[in-house]
Chains A and B, each alone.
Chain A
Amino acid sequence: MMENIGDSDGSDLPLTENCSLLLFINEEERCCGLFDHISSDEVEESYIFNKSPNSIQNLKRAKNRIGGEIIDVANCDVIDLVSEVMSKVKDPSEIIIDISVLSKPELLILMQALDRQGLLIDTRLIYSQPEDYHSSRPVTDSKGIQNIDSVPGFINSTPLNRKTLLILMLGFEPARSKAIYNNYDPDSSYLIVPSPGYKEGWEERTVRQNSYLRNVLGENNIEHIHALHPGQFVKQFNRFLTENEIKLGEWNTFVSPLSTKPQTVGLYYIWRKNERTISVVHSTPLERNKLFVPTGLSETWELVGYKDEI
């Protein structure tokens, strides 16, 4: 299940005692999506991780509405950021994390670190959608490829002589998916299209933008999986594997999450269940086009129910 947190009356998200709130702040409006849904009085401790030098306004809002310690992680790499977060998490009864502006590698590594310490089961993940990505045009997303790299801690241990299977979870950045495809030279590939998408028409937009891969791989290699629902993602992903008779361990399997963060949460649980049979890879764009920033704030969701699906 996935629940819309609801009206902005300040108490939509019931919290347990002794809970920790982890906020990640940058210049995107949606990083403040949670503020209207919780009462700061209920939060035992909160940490505001500042991810950007341009986030002054949002930082002020966070400090005023929630309070708590501000930790600057703007110049941290993904490992330092997760280390910093984990150093703050002691032994709370519950952890609330707003994942809206975490990158996908940050999200995966953080989930893994929490999992190792047995904290993931008591972690609640909050996600706010942007209103839009400013422009619907692919030209305005990102440019070029800085590099293609594995996500630390998400490496398969399959023998290197096995054939390569690449599963691309598609988003609005076709250059990145195409670059991964071309750099991996896979023996077999599948495309995952977020469906239904965040919004009406976004599913078609993903397919249209990734038309090259769609054409090269053909309709048979495209799977449609829920964009916003980690539990559905896990179920549908497993069904996709079964229906296509794919045994991940028989391949040298690489998965690249270029789609939504709720899908990435689902991927974590897929990885967890199939530990060391999947490598997770991602590509970093050379330059993000300034026009392609997520703008506005749409709905705020608590990602729930997916733990039961495992």
Chain B
Amino acid sequence: MTQKVFITYSHDDADFKDKIVDRLDEQDLEVKLDERALKIGDELLELFEEIDDSDILIPILSENSVESDWVQEELKIAVKDQIEDRIRIFAVIHEGGKYSDILDDLPTGIQKSLELRQIGRFDTNGFDGAFSNLVENIDQYAPGAEIYDNYLSNNNDNPFRRTRTEYFESSEVIANTFAEPLNTSYSEISNLKPSLIEGGRGSGKTMILKSLQARINILLGGDTKFERSSSDFFGVYCKLTRGSFSTQSDKITNHLDIDVASTIYTDEITVRLLSSLLDEINYCKSEGILDIDRATEKEIVTRLNDQLGMSCSGHTIPDLLECTKSELNTIDEYIQRKILGEEPQYDGLFLDQTDIADLSEIVAGNLPGENINIYYLIDEYEVLKDFQKTVVNTLVKRSEQNMYSFKLASKKPGFSISQTLEDEELEEYNDYNSIDLDYNISDIHERSNFKDMLTEITKNLLSNEGFPEKDVEDILEKRDRFGSKSVEDIDEEIREMRDISKSEWKGLSEEERQTQRDHYGVASWYKILESNEHRQFGGLNDLAMLSSGITRFYLELIGVSFYNAQKDNRAPIQDNGISVQDQTKAAHTVSDYFLEYIHDNISKYGPRIQRLVLDLGDIFEEKLRNHTSEPEAARVSIIDPENLPSEKIDDILDSAEEHSVIQRKSGRGGMRPRSKTERQLMEYTLNRIYAPSLRISPRYRWRTKFEIQDLEELVDSEKRPKKKEELINSVKIGVRDEKQKPMTDFE
């Protein structure tokens, strides 16, 4: 399909515009021009409509155009569109313009967004060179939505399209793809003790829970029926999506006494869990997975009905499910009347935390096998209100030595409430096992485990789709150490950076030179890249690193890489694998996508978190390019954690962590202070998936120290510009003669 290009320019730059248009006309592009370049007001709105129909916007930036209000307004709009994947912007600098002056005249947000795509440097690269780069960039960056459409769609044969458990179409496909996590003990997760499973978005929490779901767990055990020997637990998967409970809405909890809300929620969660369990049994029965005769079904229904004190007249599970529905209706009716000012009498079941044990025992005792336990596999625990978490915690606390258990999955830091209804603490080790699904990529051992797990998942996915089983290392072409740059070029830059004379360098042993390359080679590589050149990514190691230990990011990276390779009519698995070029393009597409994702998908703080990431990116990029001893320094070390909790920054950091924008690193040996007088730092890392867009190295070797106040001011729109400038200036200072050693956890 021919892409539509819309060019905006200042009337004063008409000659330069004509040159660009003449050349674009030779491409497979439909070029439209902003003929009302200098008009403002209502006509601007008409102009927006025209841009709306375009796929690509090329603003010609010059001293003339950036001073116009309309250009800035138009760019603001286009930047937003770019975030929405509706348009792509490829700004070009007028051949007579001065890059830095022009960029300085634009607001920082626009500057950064334009830089996410490479800016066409007609001012320095010469017309022909700059034009080739422009066309290449347009070609290189297919619209994100189009890519996602093609590789996520169920109608294609991209083996990596299922990036969320929900995209797996059947229990069989889930079971065939599942790989046990290697940074934690799967047997610990699957034993009777309750587990609190934490992980970032996309870390595989749902997959773990589903692996314990009865209908899938039997498949993993090689069975097709839940029988005496197949398993000692029956798992029911329950997703606590927002909007699942009457007491969940903010609008309701603001109008209900907390004790009343807790009493009602105990009824609600108990009935919902029971109905989910019955529904799972009913499903397994109807699918022939579970044999339950009529007498047993009647026995279960009668006893549950008695235990709950309900008046269900039927004897089948569907009958009882109808009755539970009417109990939930009673709860909802009560709440509606109560919050709208009436004084209704609550006519609920008044269950307590021990009832779930009795109910579970009735069911478990009637399932095939001995000593069967019921596992409630609770997903998205983090969406619960604090008082609801307290109720669930109580159920977890009481599950010890009963015939049921809870496996709770939550995004980080979801387990912030440890209280129970009796003001006891839910205690790790005593009451539950704590499972962290995020792999710490900085740790060699964990990185290796992560790669092993990805290798297995890749193999399973390929096998599912009928592709020949291949080792992922054979599919992903590895990049050369410094991409297209020679070691000589890198050495030259290291010498410059480290202020080492030629003769001094010659005097170094090869081992010493190698050490210099290990420490400063990557920073030098970034420094000598051309302005329109990307640092290359290629190979499992790179993709695992960019994934930051989160499976979904890996799947998106390899999925888009596969898409890029396949787009050229190649069969990447059967042929020569996926090239470094395709992987590099994918790294940037996925990175852009997730950076842009932050803005509108994180509740409350999305825009501020995105701005913080962009600002930190700017600071780290500055350090990467200018600091002579600690260039790869994208670790955010908070030197005064005693100032937390901070009203302004606490929730923002938690929210960023919940969505895996940042990852908290704690308790690592390498982080401990060297002496008792040194303070313990608190450390976060930016998710490495953003590194390509931010043009920083995903290797985070050194720390950059921040005070809480620095971060507070960065998220404050008024204080931000000054603070950012101050922080950028502070990281420019290199300590040339200080031979500091980097952290040692990278090769």
Q: Do A and B come from one complex?
A: yes
Contact of A161 among B45, B155, B164, B237 (CB under 8 A): B237
Docked-complex contact A79 and B241, CB < 8 angstroms: no
B472 is an interface residue with CB less than 8 A from chain A: no
B76 is an interface residue with CB less than 8 A from chain A: yes
Contact of B339 among A152, A155, A216 (CB under 8 A): A152
Q: A86-B341, A160-B239, A212-B85 are in contact. Are A183 and B601 (CB under 8 A)?
A: yes
A272 is an interface residue with CB less than 8 A from chain B: no
Chain B interface: which size bin?
Answer: 35 or more
B145 is an interface residue with CB less than 8 A from chain A: yes
Chain B, range 340-378, C-beta contacts under 8 Å to A = 340-341
How far apart are the CA atoms of A279 and B332 in the complex, in Å?
12
Contact of B272 among A77, A160, A280 (CB under 8 A): A160
Chain B residues closer than 8 Å to A276, beta-carbon distance: 325, 328-329, 332
How far apart are the CA atoms of A275 and B85 in the complex, in Å?
37
Docked-complex contact B601 and A159, CB < 8 angstroms: no
Chain B residues closer than 8 Å to A281, beta-carbon distance: 242-243
Docked-complex contact A150 and B242, CB < 8 angstroms: yes
How far apart are the CA atoms of A149 and B254 in the complex, in Å?
13
Chain A residues closer than 8 Å to B600, beta-carbon distance: 144-145, 175-176, 178-179
Tell me the minimal C-beta distance from A221 to chain B in angstroms. 10
Docked-complex contact A161 and B238, CB < 8 angstroms: yes
B335 is an interface residue with CB less than 8 A from chain A: yes
Docked-complex contact A147 and B603, CB < 8 angstroms: yes
A196 is an interface residue with CB less than 8 A from chain B: no
How far apart are the CA atoms of A280 and B80 in the complex, in Å?
28
B297 is an interface residue with CB less than 8 A from chain A: no
Chain A residues closer than 8 Å to B244, beta-carbon distance: 150, 155-156, 160, 252, 279
- The chain A residue with its CB closest to the CB of B152 is A216
Q: A161-B276, A286-B607 are in contact. Are A152 and B252 (CB under 8 A)?
A: yes
B431 is an interface residue with CB less than 8 A from chain A: no
How far apart are the CA atoms of A150 and B76 in the complex, in Å?
32
Q: A178-B600, A215-B149 are in contact. Are A138 and B249 (CB under 8 A)?
A: no
Docked-complex contact A279 and B243, CB < 8 angstroms: yes
Docked-complex contact B341 and A83, CB < 8 angstroms: yes
Docked-complex contact A164 and B239, CB < 8 angstroms: yes
Docked-complex contact A138 and B84, CB < 8 angstroms: yes
How far apart are the CA atoms of A147 and B250 in the complex, in Å?
10
Chain B residues closer than 8 Å to A93, beta-carbon distance: none
Tell me the minimal C-beta distance from B382 to chain A in angstroms. 11
How far apart are the CA atoms of A178 and B49 in the complex, in Å?
22
B246 is an interface residue with CB less than 8 A from chain A: yes
B-binding segment of A63-71, A94-102, A184-192, A227-235:
A184-192
How far apart are the CA atoms of A280 and B272 in the complex, in Å?
18
How far apart are the CA atoms of A152 and B242 in the complex, in Å?
12
B81 is an interface residue with CB less than 8 A from chain A: yes
Docked-complex contact B325 and A116, CB < 8 angstroms: no
Tell me the minimal C-beta distance from A11 to chain B in angstroms. 35
B52 is an interface residue with CB less than 8 A from chain A: yes
Chain B residues closer than 8 Å to A254, beta-carbon distance: 241, 243
A259 is an interface residue with CB less than 8 A from chain B: no
Docked-complex contact A208 and B278, CB < 8 angstroms: no
A43 is an interface residue with CB less than 8 A from chain B: no
Contact of A160 among B238, B249, B252, B329 (CB under 8 A): B238
Q: A137-B48, A150-B243, A216-B152 are in contact. Are A78 and B251 (CB under 8 A)?
A: yes
Docked-complex contact B145 and A211, CB < 8 angstroms: yes
- The chain A residue with its CB closest to the CB of B248 is A150
- The chain A residue with its CB closest to the CB of B51 is A137
Tell me the minimal C-beta distance from B562 to chain A in angstroms. 17
Chain A residues closer than 8 Å to B153, beta-carbon distance: 216, 218
B738 is an interface residue with CB less than 8 A from chain A: no
A148 is an interface residue with CB less than 8 A from chain B: yes
Contact of A184 among B148, B238, B241, B607 (CB under 8 A): B241
Docked-complex contact B340 and A82, CB < 8 angstroms: yes
How far apart are the CA atoms of A262 and B75 in the complex, in Å?
35
Chain B residues closer than 8 Å to A113, beta-carbon distance: 336, 340
How far apart are the CA atoms of A151 and B155 in the complex, in Å?
35
Main secondary structure of the interface of A (DSSP, over half): mixed
Docked-complex contact A185 and B145, CB < 8 angstroms: no
Q: A136-B45, A139-B76, A215-B149 are in contact. Are A159 and B81 (CB under 8 A)?
A: no
B14 is an interface residue with CB less than 8 A from chain A: no
Docked-complex contact B242 and A183, CB < 8 angstroms: yes
Docked-complex contact A216 and B242, CB < 8 angstroms: no
A146 is an interface residue with CB less than 8 A from chain B: yes
Chain A residues closer than 8 Å to B145, beta-carbon distance: 211-212, 215-216
- The chain A residue with its CB closest to the CB of B283 is A161
Docked-complex contact B341 and A87, CB < 8 angstroms: yes
- The chain A residue with its CB closest to the CB of B604 is A146
B182 is an interface residue with CB less than 8 A from chain A: no
Chain A residues closer than 8 Å to B86, beta-carbon distance: 138, 208-209, 211-212
Chain A residues closer than 8 Å to B336, beta-carbon distance: 112-113, 116, 152-153
Contact of B329 among A112, A157, A164, A212 (CB under 8 A): A157
B123 is an interface residue with CB less than 8 A from chain A: no
Q: A77-B254, A87-B341 are in contact. Are A159 and B279 (CB under 8 A)?
A: yes
- The chain A residue with its CB closest to the CB of B598 is A144
How far apart are the CA atoms of A179 and B599 in the complex, in Å?
10
Per-residue contact bits, chain B 137-177, to A (CB 8 Å; 1 contact, 0 not): 00000000110110011010000000010100000000000
Q: A79-B339, A87-B341, A159-B272 are in contact. Are A152 and B249 (CB under 8 A)?
A: yes
Question: Would you give 25 A-B contacts (Cβ < 8 Å), ordered by A?
Answer: A79-B252, A83-B341, A86-B341, A87-B341, A116-B337, A137-B52, A139-B76, A146-B603, A150-B244, A152-B251, A153-B332, A155-B245, A157-B325, A160-B238, A164-B166, A178-B600, A182-B601, A183-B603, A209-B84, A211-B84, A215-B149, A216-B149, A216-B153, A279-B243, A286-B607
Given A145-B604, A212-B85, 16 more A-B residue pairs with CB atoms under 8 Å apart are A78-B251, A83-B341, A113-B336, A136-B48, A138-B80, A139-B81, A144-B606, A145-B601, A147-B603, A155-B245, A161-B239, A175-B84, A185-B166, A208-B52, A211-B85, A286-B607
Question: What 3 A-B pairs have minimum CB-CB distances, sorted nearest first?
Answer: A150-B243, A215-B149, A159-B279
B residues near A, CB below 8 A? 45, 48-49, 52, 76-77, 80-81, 84-86, 145-146, 148-149, 152-153, 155, 164, 166, 206, 213, 236-246, 248-252, 254-255, 272-273, 275-280, 283, 321, 324-325, 328-329, 332, 335-337, 339-341, 597, 599-604, 606-607
